[in-house]
């Protein structure tokens, strides 16, 4: 039997994900937090784990480079991959939000400039509300954008709101709730159904 | 200007040749064994044809051109629509047709133009379970022909979910959202989505069950029965049950799986729909279904069903699987000759070629040919005529002698 490949998002939710896998009886040798290795194996369950950047997890899974992926809903919404999204792990919870200086008007006649790590999700949100926007893609320190006048507002994930407050910004509008999900490649779900279904079942049981 | 690109990777022309020489003949032959006849459609199609027919290729994905009279054309974005149009316009053409043609699209990333080869069949005028099953069995037969280790045909029905969707009070935007949730089997978000709608519990339970109507026919049909709400949904289940039992007779029941949560984006489908998956491709390699209402849009009521293979994906999957189709028929014999035997050598080569042997001739003065041939090499000089094959040397006198020797060699191989 072949290994199932599981892509795991590095960063914020990696520890919770590993704990969940352990709880489900899936253990990877030599997996330590400060390890620089990117590939690990669980030979008894025939699972290969790869660590990839969170934004890349949907791409790995959609293209079949990984059969399964564990990643935040924020990245799924941004990439809009054609995949199955089968479980909500209920950790890594936060919210998408529009943020800016208190009192910034969103619905004016002029085009709003929105800076974000998630330009697609931002476009979709404002499109639904019928507000014309122009997006600026940033890869970090998004809070700076309104402060130095690069953008009117930002769209980002907000956990506690501390970073926003410290920079004099506040949430102007809450968007979708975010949590960590299990995603599955559609072809793997169909052609490797036995092993994929066993894996999903095991994880599901350990959630309850 | 962005260069015109025919496919996806840099070894384009090699892929094209592989496609045309190995994969395409194999597919065509399989279509013919089911009684289908080849048809083709024009490269330039009327833009209005595609923009007026509901549920086809998205307008932004079509490649448009403007002819000198100012008419907007598109480079054929799909083959089924022009075939359906031809069918409505004429009486005499056969009702079982196949095609292998390129379709042209703007690919999503990088806004590039792409040509993709599609090979498919369309069958008009029949509306039976037997006909549905025949088409699905043929699709499975093709994946068998290509010797994929693992493949599955996923079967669903267009009207089963559509019936439920029609009963839901949704804005077009919500409808799209719900379909996305169902297509991604996103159970975690479907329940909250339905809770916000003013609908009864029975309807909500039915919609919620759709993504999990997946698996073997027995399981799926039993569960589907419990959420079926009207006669249209009953008929859909009955149709799938009948198809399933006929597929057993075709011996392909192991290759199929039912998934009523597979709701296809091409909404001209009216009955059974299906997609073929292989382990080596992350996207479906073939898809199709019954479209009884399409021909009517061109003025004639006529049921129809068909499917198309994405030949580029099949080829890629075969290469990943380590079974790339044979690129070309290799040379079978090299004939070396000296200057004095040029007449005899070229006459012999000609006679062999008439019989279908693949032969290269080389004048001894020009050195040796850099490749070896399948069956060996012959030397024709004033001293002797010799065939070198499998480490043996055999003399021959005439072209017919040589043919006999080569045929024996082929039998031994």
The reported pLDDT for the residue numbered B287 is: 94
Mean pLDDT of B63-87: 91
Whether A191 and B152 lie within 8 Å, measured CB to CB: yes
Q: Which two tokens stand for residue A113?
A: 């400039």
Q: What are the residues whose beta carbons fall under 8 Å from the beta carbon of A128, sequence distance 6 or more?
A: B173
Interface of B with A in 34-53 (CB under 8 A): none
Tokens found for residue A96: 């998408």
Q: Number of Cβ pairs closer than 8 Å across A and B? A: 53
Q: Quick one: angle between helices B201-209 and B187-195, nearest 10?
A: 160
Asked if the model's pLDDT at residue B3 lies above 50, the reply is no
- At residue B241, the 3 state secondary structure works out as helix
Band (B368; pLDDT cuts 50, 70, 90): confident
Q: Tell how strand A47-52 and strand A39-42 pair up.
A: antiparallel
Average pLDDT score over residue span B280-297: 92
pLDDT at B10: 43
Residue with tokens 């019936």: B163
Residue in A84, A187, A192 nearest the CB of B184: A84
Of B36-50, B323-337, B377-391, the least confident = B323-337
Residue of A nearest to B254 (CA): A191
* DSSP-based three-state secondary structure for A113: strand
Residue with the larger pLDDT of the pair B377 and B325: B377
**Nearest residue on chain B to A76, judged by CA atoms?**
B184
Cα–Cα nearest to A150, from A124, A114, A121: A114
How many angstroms away from the CA of B269 is the closest CA of chain A? 20
Of B150, B259, B282, the CB nearest to A62: B282
pLDDT tops 80 at residue B334: yes
> Could A87 and B185 be called an inter-chain contact, meaning their C-beta atoms sit closer than 8 Å?
no
**Is A187 part of the contact surface with chain B (CB cutoff 8 Å)?**
yes
What's the pLDDT at B4? 47
- B212 to chain A: nearest residue by CA? A86
pLDDT band per the 50, 70, 90 thresholds, residue B55: low
CB < 8 Å to B279, chain A: 187-188, 191-192
Query: In percent, how much of chain B has pLDDT > 90?
Result: 60
| pLDDT for the residue B9 | 47
Identify all chain A residues contacting B284, using CB atoms and an 8 Å cutoff. Answer: 186-187
* Cα A80 to Cα A167: distance, rounded to the nearest angstrom: 31
| A191–B284 C-beta distance less than 8 A | no
Integer Cα distance of B400 and B390 in angstroms: 20
pLDDT attached to residue A89: 93
Q: Smallest CA–CA separation between B40 and chain A, in Å?
A: 31
The span from the CA of B265 to the CA of B341, in Å, is: 68
Question: Which of B188, B193, B196, B265 is most worth mutating to test chain A (most A CB atoms within 10 A of its CB)?
Answer: B188
* Confidence at residue B101, expressed as pLDDT on a 0 to 100 scale: 94
Contact map slice: B 249-288 vs A, CB within 8 A? 257, 259, 277-279, 281-284
pLDDT of residue B29: 93
> Best mutation site among B156, B176, B184 for testing chain A: the one with the most A CBs within 10 Å?
B184
Q: Looking at beta carbons, which residues of chain A come within 8 Å of B278?
A: 187, 191
Structure tokens at A197: 């279904």
pLDDT of residue B400: 92
A64 has a chain B CB within 8 A of its CB = yes
For A64, name the nearest residue in chain B, comparing CA atoms only: B282
Mean pLDDT lowest among B231-245, B272-286, B310-324? B310-324
Residue of B nearest to A193 (CA): B215
Are the C-beta atoms of residues B277 and A186 closer than 8 Å to each other?
yes
Burial class (CB in 10 A: 0-12, 13-18, 19+), B262: buried
Q: Please report the residues numbered 168 through 187 in chain B whose beta carbons come closer than 8 angstroms to any beta carbon of chain A.
A: 173, 183-187
Q: Which helix (H) or strand (E) holds A120?
A: helix A119-129
| Contact flag A190-B173 (C-beta cutoff 8 Å) | no
Distance from CA of A101 to the nearest CA of B (A): 31
Kindly state the average pLDDT of the residues B319-338.
Answer: 80
pLDDT digits (tens, 9 = 90+) for B185-230: 998 899 999 998 999 899 999 999 999 999 889 989 999 999 998 9
Task: Give the pairing type, strands B272-278 and B286-290.
Answer: antiparallel
β-pair type (B112-124, B72-75) = unpaired
Q: pLDDT by residue for chain A (208 residues), tens digit each? A: 689 999 999 888 888 999 999 999 999 877 776 677 888 999 888 999 999 999 999 999 999 999 999 999 999 999 999 999 999 999 999 999 999 999 888 887 788 999 999 999 999 999 988 899 999 999 989 999 999 999 999 999 999 989 999 999 999 999 999 999 999 999 999 999 889 999 999 998 888 7
What is the percent of chain B where pLDDT is above 70?
Answer: 92
- Structure letter (DSSP) for residue B20: I
Question: Chain B closest CA to A190's CA: distance in Å?
Answer: 7
Is the Cβ pair A85, B188 closer than 8 Å? yes
A187–B186 CB contact, under 8 Å: no
Minimum distance, in Å, between the CA of residue A67 and any CA atom of chain B? 9
Closest by CA to A27, choosing from A39, A44, A10, is A44
When CB atoms are compared, the residue of A87, A88, A187 closest to B282 is A187
pLDDT in the model for residue B173: 87
Q: What is the mean pLDDT of residues B1-26?
A: 62
Residues of chain A in contact with residue B259, where contact means CB-CB under 8 angstroms, are 190
**Mean pLDDT across chain B, nearest whole number?**
88
Using DSSP, state whether B128 is helix, strand or coil: coil
Is residue B295 over pLDDT 60?
A: yes
- Report the pLDDT value the prediction gives residue B8, as an integer from 0 to 100: 47
What residue in A sits closest to B174 (Cα-Cα)?
A128
Chain A residues 128-147 with a CB less than 8 Å from chain B? 128
Answer yes or no: are the C-beta atoms of A97 and A171 closer than 8 Å. yes
Instruction: Output the six-digit token pair for A91.
Output: 């950790």
3-state secondary structure of A50: strand
């Amino acid at each position: 039997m072949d290994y199932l490949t599981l892509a795991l998002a590095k960063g914020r939710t990696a520890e919770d994900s590993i704990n969940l896998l352990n709880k489900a009886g899936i253990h990877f040798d030599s997996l330590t937090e400060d390890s620089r290795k990117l590939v690990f194996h669980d030979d008894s369950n025939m699972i290969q784990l790869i660590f990839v950047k969170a934004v890349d997890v949907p791409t790995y899974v959609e293209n079949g480079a990984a059969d399964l992926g564990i990643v935040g809903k924020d990245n799924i919404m941004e990439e809009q991959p054609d995949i199955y999204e089968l479980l909500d792990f209920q950790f890594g919870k936060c919210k998408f939000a529009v943020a800016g200086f208190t009192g910034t008007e969103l619905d004016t006649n002029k085009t709003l400039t929105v800076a974000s790590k998630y330009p697609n999700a931002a476009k979709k949100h404002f499109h639904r509300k019928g507000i014309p926007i122009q997006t600026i893609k940033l890869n970090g320190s998004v809070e700076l954008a309104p402060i130095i006048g690069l953008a009117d507002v930002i769209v980002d994930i907000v956990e506690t709101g501390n970073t926003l407050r410290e920079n004099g910004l506040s949430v102007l509008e809450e968007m979708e709730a975010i949590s960590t999900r299990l995603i599955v490649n559609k072809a793997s779900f169909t052609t490797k159904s036995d092993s994929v279904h066993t894996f999903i079942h095991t994880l599901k049981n350990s959630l309850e | 200007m962005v260069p015109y690109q025919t496919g996806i990777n840099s070894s384009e022309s090699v892929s094209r040749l592989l496609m045309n020489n190995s994969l395409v003949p194999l597919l065509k032959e399989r279509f013919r064994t089911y009684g289908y006849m080849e048809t083709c459609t024009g490269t330039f199609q009327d833009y209005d044809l595609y923009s007026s027919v509901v549920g086809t290729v998205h307008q932004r994905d079509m490649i448009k051109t403007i002819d000198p009279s100012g008419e907007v054309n598109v480079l054929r974005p799909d083959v089924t629509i022009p075939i359906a149009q031809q069918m409505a316009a004429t009486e005499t053409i056969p009702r079982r047709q196949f095609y292998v043609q390129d379709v042209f699209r703007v690919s999503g990333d990088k806004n590039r133009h792409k040509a993709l080869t599609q090979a498919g069949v369309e069958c008009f005028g029949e509306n039976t379970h037997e006909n549905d099953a025949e088409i699905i069995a043929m699709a499975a037969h093709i994946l068998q022909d290509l010797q994929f280790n693992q493949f599955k045909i996923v079967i669903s029905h267009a009207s089963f979910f559509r019936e439920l969707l029609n009963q839901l009070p949704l804005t077009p935007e919500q409808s799209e959202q719900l379909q996305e949730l169902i297509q991604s089997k996103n159970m975690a978000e479907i329940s909250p989505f339905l809770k916000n709608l003013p609908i009864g519990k029975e309807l909500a339970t039915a919609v919620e069950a759709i993504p999990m109507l997946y698996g073997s026919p027995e399981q799926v049909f039993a569960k589907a029965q419990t959420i079926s709400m009207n006669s249209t949904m009953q008929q859909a289940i009955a149709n799938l049950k009948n198809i399933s039992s006929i597929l057993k007779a075709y011996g392909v029941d192991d290759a199929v799986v039912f998934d009523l949560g597979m709701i296809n984006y091409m909404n001209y489908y009216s009955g059974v729909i299906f997609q073929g998956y292989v382990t080596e491709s992350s996207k479906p390699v073939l898809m199709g279904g019954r479209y009884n209402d399409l021909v009517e849009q061109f003025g004639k009521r006529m049921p129809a069903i068909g499917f198309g293979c994405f030949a580029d994906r099949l080829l890629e999957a075969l290469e990943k699987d380590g079974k790339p189709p044979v690129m070309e028929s290799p040379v079978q014999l090299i004939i070396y000759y000296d200057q004095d035997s040029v007449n005899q050598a070229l006459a012999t080569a000609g006679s062999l070629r008439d019989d279908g042997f693949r032969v290269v001739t080389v004048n001894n003065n020009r050195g040796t040919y850099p490749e070896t041939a399948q069956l060996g090499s012959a030397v024709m000089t004033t001293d002797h005529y010799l065939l070198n094959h499998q480490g043996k040397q055999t003399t021959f006198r005439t072209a017919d002698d040589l043919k006999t020797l080569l045929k024996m060699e082929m039998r031994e191989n």
